[in-house]
Structure 1
């Protein structure tokens, strides 16, 4: 009887993750044509008109849609960020984008931690050898690791949402590091979105690879290097102590 109850509880814990996965698969199939650059281009006048007539409502609806996109890992997060810049400018658009992305990412984090994270973290703490050493290293340098996975653009957003939940990161550390860590990339894409009016007028498409251009990527990597600095200093001090 106890085993049956534990099994049911286990499946119930996995339900939020299963819903997110199902929504991501269904969304990729059903929403691809709606959350696209072409859809934004074709509906830009209607969106601007609605924003001008209902600014606060537009902000609320936009952020709710963005939270749903990131919280359920739907396609179109980049387009949503561009839309935030297009509708609200670089500022306050970047605040709306980063705030909504953080809320959506937190939903993924909570679902993963409730379903797998707490038990997996406890097992890693109770383990021996290399696994426990890896967990201890992550715990010792949580702030640095959290900022690095957010700053480096090569780490997929969904993966960066899951990893902290699986290693026992606290909620407030996750929220703070997510909000601050995604500001550089969010600022880049929001500013691209703010210039979409001119891009549309020329009949062109935005350069979404701009974040990998040296003048943008190098400063972001510099911030990642600063985040990694405490880890390097600890390693150096540890060798000196030996």
Structure 2
């Protein structure tokens, strides 16, 4: 009996190891690298970065993707600056592809860590609940693809939040990764294109306009994609009301 209790305790503690590692890495990263992940650091080191890229292109791509993924995985400051850096170093394409791949890898890492610690247990509790909570859980389960794409497309949903919510709802990793990769694509392309023009911005001594995504010519197409993501949900509701 005692051995079983001890084994269960160890198993419970083991589930929190990934989350503890993420938390420790985040605290250490903020302390050690917080000053190096800002726009000013990019402006000051731009010439060195370009020289290293020109001399070691493949190594630069590998290092960039790895650092960007770690920034996302540990929720460090600088994800937007990293996206701009991808455009600055590699142009809009393939820079956007590198940015999207790195962000997806980092998001998947924190998704797995959170799900290992909390997701499965919380999902089981929600599944066994009754009333409104159970209805909400069932609604999300029926429309997972639409909701996953929606929280990625809407510019006001923090990236960190969009990583946590699916983990709490026991969303499959493949579904999470695919919706992340394609869902962040519009915003990533916009910011990567801004980064591709940083050379001229630096030359003028200015800072990039990060509010560009909220300009009508950018925001309206993204909202159109949000409407498409919600279309299956609307069709299900309509069919339910008609008894189809």
- Aligned Cα RMSD in Å? 1.3
Q: Which runs of 5+ in 1 are unaligned?
A: none
- Residues 17 and 112 in structure 1, CA contact (< 8 A), matched pair in contact too: yes
1:47-92 CA distance string (max 9 Å, x none): 1011011111100011011111111111111111000000000000
Residue 215 of structure 1 and its aligned partner are, at CA, apart by 1.5
Higher mean C-alpha displacement, 141-150 vs 119-128? 119-128
Partner Cα distance (1:30, 1:127) in 2: 43
Counterpart among 173, 177, 180 of residue 179 in structure 2: 177
Higher mean C-alpha displacement, 22-31 vs 201-210? 22-31
Residue 236 of structure 1 and its aligned partner are, at CA, apart by 1.4
Residue 23 of structure 1 and its aligned partner are, at CA, apart by 2.5
Residue 32 of structure 1 and its aligned partner are, at CA, apart by 2.1
Residue 8 of structure 1 and its aligned partner are, at CA, apart by 2.6
Higher mean C-alpha displacement, 38-47 vs 28-37? 28-37
- Residues 83 and 193 in structure 1, CA contact (< 8 A), matched pair in contact too: yes
Post-superposition, which runs of at least 4 consecutive aligned residues in structure 1 deviate over 6 A?
A: none
Partner of 1:59: 61
Partner Cα distance (2:214, 2:9) in 1: 46
Higher mean C-alpha displacement, 107-116 vs 90-99? 107-116
Partner Cα distance (2:214, 2:35) in 1: 26
Partner of 1:219: 221
Higher mean C-alpha displacement, 53-62 vs 115-124? 115-124
- Residues 23 and 73 in structure 1, CA contact (< 8 A), matched pair in contact too: no
Question: What TM-score results when the alignment is normalised by the length of structure 1?
Answer: 0.96
Residue 211 of structure 1 and its aligned partner are, at CA, apart by 1.1
Partner of 2:20: 18
Partner Cα distance (1:123, 1:7) in 2: 20
Matches within 5 A, 1:100-111: 100-111=102-113
Matches within 5 A, 1:123-202: 123-202=125-204
Aligned pair count reads: 242
